[in-house]
Amino acid sequence: MTVYFQHWTGDLRWMYLSPEGKWVGGTKSETIAGNAKNSTPISAVAYMVNATAVWHIFYISKDGYVKERMYSNTTSIWQDGPLSDLNLKTYNKPNVGLQACWYGNYYGDNEISKTGTVPYNTPGMHLWYPTDDSTFEQYGWYLGKDQWQEQKKWTGMNAHAGVGCYSWGPTNTTYAMMVNKHNTVEVWWKDTDKNAKITDEHPVNSWANASRAGIPNVYPSTSLGYTSYFYTQMQDGSVMGRNMTWAAENTTVDARQTFTVGDAKGTVLGLKGTHLSVTSVENKSGGTNLYVFYQTKGDDLTVFTRDITGGQWTSSELLIPSS
């Protein structure tokens, strides 16, 4: 497991969890980029195609542009990705959202018909970045294509909050989660199956709001993250995880499987507006552990972990090199 973070010097760096359970790296030698704005959001996508492992890191530069850095096991160096060439200017505020998401199980999309047809089952990535206080622009990239393409403008959202996504599931429906102006998370879905039956409740190749899945009272600049559970920061600073039933227009939150992240003493509040990263990883016993990363003080990077089935949370601070 690899964690990407911004060092106090401004560098974007990485560190990893060794098989012995120790966090290694985070030094100057593990620098990905040196031109990131202070407190930039960071988004990572990793995948393997034809035995080539590829990592993409997205962030906002000091001069306010969306940047992409790439690394693969064939090049073994970090280099600029094609998105950087588009000079996409972001909303110039300290706390803004930015999210990239792997797009697997792909069954076609009419959003790029202007530039040619993408074959069905072509995977890729979606990316959202803010252009003003209420708008996110969505771009897409598809495997085998040279450049990202503009797809959709999302208006009426809170661009100070993060964006969540789920588009690697077993169906051909993709999901995007954003916070509206009333501090409620909205869940949007899109079915890209050209053979699906179209109804008023279930459009195809068109984004629709899953109105039953809204989550109220989140912190205005909450980050959003989904892996196994959907995580948000609430008004009091607590980080909550929720089990989601992903079912297009019938998507819901399972109120019976909702929890707050913490340690042996109980809930641990995050620094309000903290960046948030979540994942789940198989353990040596054959089960799965949840990992949640956020800041509690401002100069820390704290990891919280628990078995996916339940039990006690534990926490520890990652040791960040001083230089």
* pLDDT tens column, 62-98: 999 999 999 999 999 999 999 999 999 999 998 999 9
For 83, 118, 142, 288, 294, the CA distances from 111, given in Å and listed in that order, are 18, 10, 12, 37, 35
Per-domain residue ranges of the chain: 38-317
Note the pLDDT tens digit of each residue in 223-243.
999 999 999 999 999 999 999
Give the separation between CA 41 and CA 54, rounded to whole angstroms: 20
Question: Would you report the helix, strand and coil content of the chain in percent, each value rounded to 5?
Answer: 5, 50, 45
20 pLDDT more than 80: yes
Q: Is 280 exposed, middle or buried (0-12, 13-18, 19+ CB in 10 A)?
A: middle
pLDDT range class, residue 134, cuts 50, 70, 90: very high
How many Cα atoms sit within 13 Å of 175 on the Cβ side? Answer: 28
CATH number of the domain located at residue range(s) 38-317 in this protein: 2.120.10.70
pLDDT at 125: 94
Residue 197 CB partners (closer than 8 Å, separation 6+)? none
Per-residue pLDDT reduced to its tens digit, 159-172: 999 999 998 877 78
What number is the average pLDDT over the span 99-112?
59
Asked if residue 106 has pLDDT above 90, the reply is no
